[in-house]
Amino acid sequence: DVKVTQSSRYLVKRTGEKVFLECVQDMDHENMFWYRQDPGLGLRLIYFSYDVKMKEKGDIPEGYSVSREKKERFSLILESASTNQTSMYLCASTSGARENSPLHFGNGTRLTVT
């Protein structure tokens, strides 16, 4: 079974702090994704990566950056956290045959910015 592990289930940070959300997958997947999930808005794609050191903007990249130094790890960075970044963050991965492969999700990190 694919395992996508997000390092924190709950985080509380202050406005202006730099925040790191970590995600690791154990299936040698090429593709990794970061989403945020908000009531009434569903899942929205922030950033994704198809290979080490590669990154692509998703639908809502503003205020975020990412890092993919190793194939199994994809980090989401909030350079200066703001209250509107309070959300559930979901990491996902899939194999390189992306057209026919479902995403496998972690259990999420619920971030609160005060």
Partner 1 sequence: GESVGLHLPTLSVQEGDNSIINCAYSNSASDYFIWYKQESGKGPQFIIDIRSNMDKRQGQRVTVLLNKTVKHLSLQIAATQPGDSAVYFCAEIWRGSQGNLIFGKGTKLSVKP
How far apart are alpha carbons 62 and 94 in whole angstroms? 24
Residues paired with residue 30 on neighbouring β-strands, in sequence order: none
Q: How far is the CB of 99 from partner 1 (least distance, A)?
A: 6
SS3 91: strand
Tokens of 58: 């998703």
**Which residues have C-beta within 8 Å of that of residue 62, sequence separation ≥ 6?**
none
105 interacts with partner 1 by CB under 8 A: yes
At residue 88, φ and ψ (nearest 5 deg) are -95, 125
Q: Which is nearer to partner 1, 17 or 51 (CB)?
A: 51
Q: Which is nearer to partner 1, 16 or 96 (CB)?
A: 96
30 to 89, contacts with partner 1 by CB under 8 A? Answer: 31, 33, 40-43, 45, 48, 50, 56, 58
102 interacts with partner 1 by CB under 8 A: yes
Given the rule CB under 8 A, which residues bind partner 1? 4, 31, 33, 40-43, 45, 48, 50, 56, 58, 90, 92, 94, 98-108
